[in-house]
Amino acid sequence: MLLRDECEIRVHGGKGGDGLVSFWREKFVAKGGPDGGDGGDGGSVVLLATARVNSLLTLGRSPRYEAQSGQPGGVNNRAGPGGEDVELEVPLGTQVFDAARGNLLRDLVEEGQRLVVAAGGRGGRGNPHFATAVRQTPRRAEPGRLGETRRLRLELKLFAEVGLVGLPNAGKSTFLASISRATPKIADYPFTTLEPQVGIAAVGDYDTLVVADLPGLIEGAAEGHGLGYRFLKHVERCRVLLHLVDVSAEALDEPAASVRVIVRELAQYSSELAVRPRLVVATKVESEADEGRARELEAALGEPVHSISAHTGRGVRALLDRTTALVRMPAPT
């Protein structure tokens, strides 16, 4: 399940219909009173949060969305029909920003949550509204008002129960592919994963875990270096982090040092991430020498390290069971 991070769109509420100047005309009635109808209200542009979509990609393909205008009023005090709303579906976890001001308008996190982002213009009043005892045949009506116009920036913060973090080539994509039907790109070079990937892992007969493979971070990511900075915001949505560390002989970085790099970057980005529940996972443990390096990592960190091999399946089921227990644990009050 490939997710795009953000998009920018322009939204326009529909114009209200014009009020009508009209007078009642009937046989034997020379001068009827005013009977111009009110114009209909313009339609609005509305964002709807739903699990039916998981990407902003489709929405971002069109830069402009405009609701229907209201119709003008009719004779015999008939009001013009209102314009239809334009309803845009966005994924759960979409943050809506006013692009001009940069302020957050709403965080859409619940199924069915709606946000009017460009209200339609109000319809104009017909000439009966301007009749007075002195002026009984007003030739005045209101024009419909313009709808709101706004430029929006939509950012998707990935919703997942478990986030996979680690330096590039830590084995995150391979692990995700081994526990779910996700098909991330896998190769022996850094930054293979350029977009967040989501997989659903079956745990037991009835339970599942939503797991996100987040692109590899590097030192300095919190200050904007590398690709990881683009996706640090996704980590905030995850209840539990699995910190994957390559302990194989071919590892590009010393295991304990690579752990400290990621821990430091997460803490610099958000103090809350520094205390987020996590499990350290030694990956690519496929020989006795790899097991020895996993034990050395555990000693260096002073905390448990879970050893797995995504290729052989070793330790994967036990890790999923432990992760599930941690995810389902009630949050502290």
> Which CATH number is 43's domain given?
2.70.210.12
Q: Are 91 and 237 within 8 A, CB to CB?
A: no
Domain boundary, last residue among 157, 186, 213:
157
Separation CA 196–CA 173 (nearest Å): 10
User: Residue 197 is which amino acid?
Assistant: Q
Separation CA 45–CA 147 (nearest Å): 10
Same-domain check for residues 126 and 187: no
Q: CATH number, domain at 254?
A: 3.40.50.300
Please state the domain count of the chain: 2
**317: which residues sit within 8 A by CB, 6+ positions away?**
none
* Predicted pLDDT at 261: 86
Could you tell me the CA-to-CA distances from 316 to 87, 281, 301 in Å, in that order?
43, 10, 21
Same-domain check for residues 147 and 179: no
58: in domain: yes
* Predicted pLDDT at 309: 93
User: Residue 62 is which amino acid?
Assistant: S
Same-domain check for residues 186 and 274: yes
For the chain, residues with pLDDT lower than 50 are: 1-4, 183-194, 219-229
Same-domain check for residues 184 and 321: yes
Same-domain check for residues 31 and 169: no
Same-domain check for residues 90 and 202: no
For the chain, how far is it from start to end, CA to CA, in angstroms?
33
Could you tell me the CA-to-CA distances from 135 to 23, 35, 37, 139, 321 in Å, in that order?
13, 14, 18, 9, 81
Same-domain check for residues 30 and 125: yes
Same-domain check for residues 306 and 256: yes
* Predicted pLDDT at 79: 96
**205: which residues sit within 8 A by CB, 6+ positions away?**
none
DSSP H stretches of helix in the chain: 57-60, 172-179, 232-235, 255-269, 288-301, 316-328
Same-domain check for residues 82 and 135: yes
188: in domain: yes
Same-domain check for residues 183 and 307: yes
Same-domain check for residues 29 and 74: yes
Cα 87 from chain centre: 16
- Other Cβ atoms less than 10 A from the Cβ of 224: the count is 10
Question: What is this structure's pTM?
Answer: 0.59
Q: Which residue has the tokens 């997710």?
A: 3
333: in domain: no
Domain boundary, last residue among 157, 183, 204:
157
Separation CA 265–CA 232 (nearest Å): 9
Domain boundary, last residue among 89, 122, 157:
157
Which tokens hold the place of 69? 């205008």
E strand map for the chain: 6-12, 45-49, 64-66, 86-90, 94-98, 104-108, 114-118, 149-156, 162-165, 197-203, 207-213, 240-246, 278-283, 305-307
> What confidence tens digit (pLDDT) does each residue in 30-50 have?
677 899 999 999 999 999 998
250: in domain: yes
User: Which residues constitute the domain of residue 317?
Assistant: 162-328
118: in domain: yes
Same-domain check for residues 144 and 168: no
* Predicted pLDDT at 97: 95
DSSP letter at 230 equals G
